[in-house]
Amino acid sequence: MRSEFDFINYIKERHKLKVVGDDCSVVPKDSLSDHLFTVDLLIENIDFRLDWTTPAMLGHKALAVSLSDIAAMGGTPKYALLSIGVPDSLWKTPFLDEFYEGWHSLAREFGVELIGGDISKASELVIDSFVIGEVPKGKALLRSGAKSGDILFVTGELGGSSLGLLLLENGTRPDPEVEEILQNAVLRQLKPQPQVAIGILLLENKLATSAIDLSDGISSDLAHVCKASGVGAAIDASKLPITKGATLEMALDGGEDFEILFTVSPERRSNAFALGAVEIGEITSESNITLLIDGEPRPLTPKGFDHFKRA
């Protein structure tokens, strides 16, 4: 069956779409700024489970995933619109109030204003999050700017969200009484922190030559960068900042870590370290992506999340 990426590419070509391709769409705003637009659709029992999270954490995550897209392009989030399809059973409970509390709590942290939305009845809970950001004109961080020799960095831990998902599947729940390692992973899955501040610094300091948010897993997201930039990459497994308890596979293919993967020219390497980012490899002039394990290069193939390939 065709994947969702195949389908999106088909629609782009069929209808000659130009803007679709980065984490956000970039559209001219005024003489100084561009607008960024991003949207994320979350569906009950596909993207979240109500018995694994709290309404407030779900509200937080619904906004966080979109803020992460703005962050990866170096933007400042400004406004949001929120569409919700709600089952009757939830409509009668405090669910929505708590959901909006969680959403607004994160929105206040980043100065995001809710300016609209829509609400409908549905048989399962559906959340669609639109966020509008701003970026200095022509300066948005794109996937397409990586050059051979550039150094690859990530802004934080990998694999934690995927480990958290496994723990949730096996019965662990958000609970301060539970061992800290488990809770860290569970919270990375349920309540991810978007890297908005670092994204803005990457842009303001003209540091990143390319950037993407790690929503699908580094094996997929790095492939997007390499394809858009016309380059290859080599990453070193021993350098990956893997969340305690997570596996290499989780770090590579797990997705939903919502850290930023970015590239920096070699002479700016120390500036990236100063932001607390972790070096994980480099961009090459090859056409493939390799993973060094114990010094042995192996091909790294995209195995990130695809809604229509997984069971």
Cβ 12 to a copy of itself shortest distance, Å: 9
- Residue whose C-alpha is closest to residue 280's, from 248, 244, 303: 248
Cβ 27 to a copy of itself shortest distance, Å: 6
Nearer to a copy of itself, 117 or 266 (CB): 117
Nearer to a copy of itself, 3 or 238 (CB): 3
Nearer to a copy of itself, 42 or 166 (CB): 42
Nearer to a copy of itself, 36 or 246 (CB): 36
Cβ 99 to a copy of itself shortest distance, Å: 10
Residues 6+ apart with CB under 8 A from 122: 85, 86, 87
Quick one: DSSP state of residue 280? Answer: E
Nearer to a copy of itself, 84 or 218 (CB): 84
Give the dihedral sign, CA 208/70/244/235: negative
- What b-and-e string marks burial along 89-119, b requiring 16 or more CB atoms within 10 Å of the CB? ebeeeebbebbbebbbebbeebebeeeeeee
d(CA 90, CA 123) in angstroms, rounded, equals 10
Cβ 231 to a copy of itself shortest distance, Å: 25
Residue 306: exposed, middle, or buried by beta-carbon count in 10 A (0-12, 13-18, 19+)?
Answer: middle
Cβ 4 to a copy of itself shortest distance, Å: 5
Cβ 44 to a copy of itself shortest distance, Å: 9
d(CA 163, CA 46) in angstroms, rounded, equals 17
What tokens appear for 215 in the block? Answer: 């929503």
Nearer to a copy of itself, 36 or 185 (CB): 36
Nearer to a copy of itself, 48 or 262 (CB): 48
Cβ 272 to a copy of itself shortest distance, Å: 29
Provide the residue count of the chain. Answer: 311
Q: Within a 13 Å sphere around the CA of 235, how many CA atoms are in the beta-carbon half?
A: 26
Cβ 236 to a copy of itself shortest distance, Å: 33
| CA distances to 160, 195, 279, 285 from 100, in Å | 26, 21, 37, 47
Nearer to a copy of itself, 118 or 204 (CB): 118
> Given the structure tokens 């695809």, which residue do they identify?
306
What tokens appear for 165 in the block? Answer: 């998902």
Q: Tell me which residues touch a copy of itself (CB under 8 A).
A: 1, 4, 7-8, 11, 14-15, 17-20, 24-25, 27, 29-31, 35, 37-43, 45-47, 79, 81, 83-85, 88, 91-92, 96-97, 100, 104, 113-124, 126, 128, 130, 132, 307-308
